[in-house]
Amino acid sequence: MPIPESGAFSEPSQGPLVEARGLSHERDGRRVMHIGDWHLAAGAHALLLGPSGSGKTTFINIVTGLLTPSHGSIRIAGQEMSALPPAGRDALRRQTIGLVFQTLRLIPALSVTANLALAQKLALGRVDTAEIERLIGRVGLAHRAQARPRQLSQGEGQRAAIARALVTRPRLVVADEPTSALDDRNAAAMIDLMFEAADTTGATLLVATHDGRIAPRFANRLDLVAPAAGVAS
Ligand SMILES: Nc1ncnc2c1ncn2[C@@H]1O[C@H](COP(=O)(O)OP(=O)(O)OP(=O)(O)O)[C@@H](O)[C@H]1O
Ligand SMILES: [Mg+2]
């Protein structure tokens, strides 16, 4: 049983870490994502699968409070994300979730090191330089620590974004296609790192992917169906 390090995240709440009820989303009158009822227990690392356009990123945006679902609700660590005001959603996301965006969204004006430091400052109110250096080394970017995001290759950027998501020691790590630009060796290493972080800090992983290389590592799956395949209400 891994022992969480102190001060890294708030007290675990009772019940599932993520709980969707009757969840679906429409855009322009068209259903683009349907989950219904689903939950993710703490420690039950899950893979989010589905073809392009099936709503993986839409679901991740709802889980992380960046998008309000058109139907149903989502609870994160017992708090109803979509019922919170914007500032409350930001706080819940920062304190509870480490997010790897499909489009990375590293801050262009900041170095890799400074991107990680800002994430820590916003989530924890302090900067842990040793932890930043450790993680940057762990993703193989020690030699690129002072580089700006636009100076990185796509795969280096993906590794930096994974390090940024883990540096706050979040309870929930949500990653959208985190290995799509990585070669086999780096893809395996990044999944190893996410599982290592989960073991060390007690984090739970929710990873959207098309990447068949990483799928066997996860016991739980949530399969989304493309709307064209006809999802019943
Ligand atoms: N801003 C938007 N306005 C209208 N439709 C959108 C918007 N963003 C996404 N969609 C549509 O919503 C559906 C789900 O998109 P989403 O990005 O969630 O899919 P995805 O499963 O993440 O796909 P991919 O594997 O290609 O990343 C798609 O049909 C997409 O065209
Ligand atoms: Mg997507």
Query: Looking at the CA of 32, which ligand is closest?
Result: 1
Indicate the pLDDT class of residue 228, thresholds 50, 70 and 90.
low
For residue 57, how far is its CA from the centre of ligand 1 (angstroms)?
7
Compute the average pLDDT of residues 27-31: 95
Q: Which of 82 and 130 is assigned the larger pLDDT?
A: 130
For residue 122, how far is its CA from the centre of ligand 2 (angstroms)?
26
Q: Quick one: pLDDT at residue 219?
A: 86
User: What residue spans define the domains of the chain?
Assistant: 18-219
Quote the CA–CA distance of 116 and 140 in Å, as a whole number. Answer: 15
24 in contact with ligand 1, CB cutoff 6 A:
no
What percentage of the chain reaches a pLDDT higher than 90? 79
Written in H, E and C, the secondary structure of 83-115 is HCCHHHHHHHHHHHEEEEECCECCCCCCCHHHH
Q: What is the pLDDT of residues 154-175, one digit of tens each?
A: 999 999 999 999 999 999 999 9
Q: Quick one: pLDDT at residue 215?
A: 87
107 forms beta bridges with: none
Q: Is 217 helix (H, G, I), strand (E, B) or coil?
A: helix
* Run of H or E including 230: none
User: Helices H, strands E: what count in the chain?
Assistant: 6, 9
Pocket test for ligand 1, best of 32, 59, 63 (most atoms within 8 A of CB): 32
Instruction: Show Cβ contacts of residue 152 under 8 Å, excluding neighbours closer than 6 positions.
Output: 112, 144, 160
For residue 21, how far is its CA from the centre of ligand 2 (angstroms)?
22
Q: Cβ atoms within 10 A of the Cβ of 32, count?
A: 19
Q: Quick one: pLDDT at residue 150?
A: 97
Q: Which of 31 and 8 is assigned the larger pLDDT?
A: 31
For residue 51, how far is its CA from the centre of ligand 1 (angstroms)?
11
Q: What is the pLDDT of residues 95-114, one digit of tens each?
A: 999 999 989 999 999 999 99
50 in contact with ligand 1, CB cutoff 6 A:
yes
**Alpha helices, DSSP H, located in the chain:** 56-63, 86-96, 112-124, 129-138, 154-166, 184-201
**Could you confirm whether domain 18-219 is CATH 3.40.50.1260?**
no
Compute the average pLDDT of residues 10-36: 88
Q: What is the pLDDT of residues 165-222, one digit of tens each?
A: 999 999 999 999 999 899 999 999 999 999 998 888 889 999 999 888 888 889 899 9
CA distances from 131 to 39, 88, 141, 197, 226 (A): 31, 27, 14, 12, 40
Q: Quick one: pLDDT at residue 59?
A: 97
55 in contact with ligand 1, CB cutoff 6 A:
yes
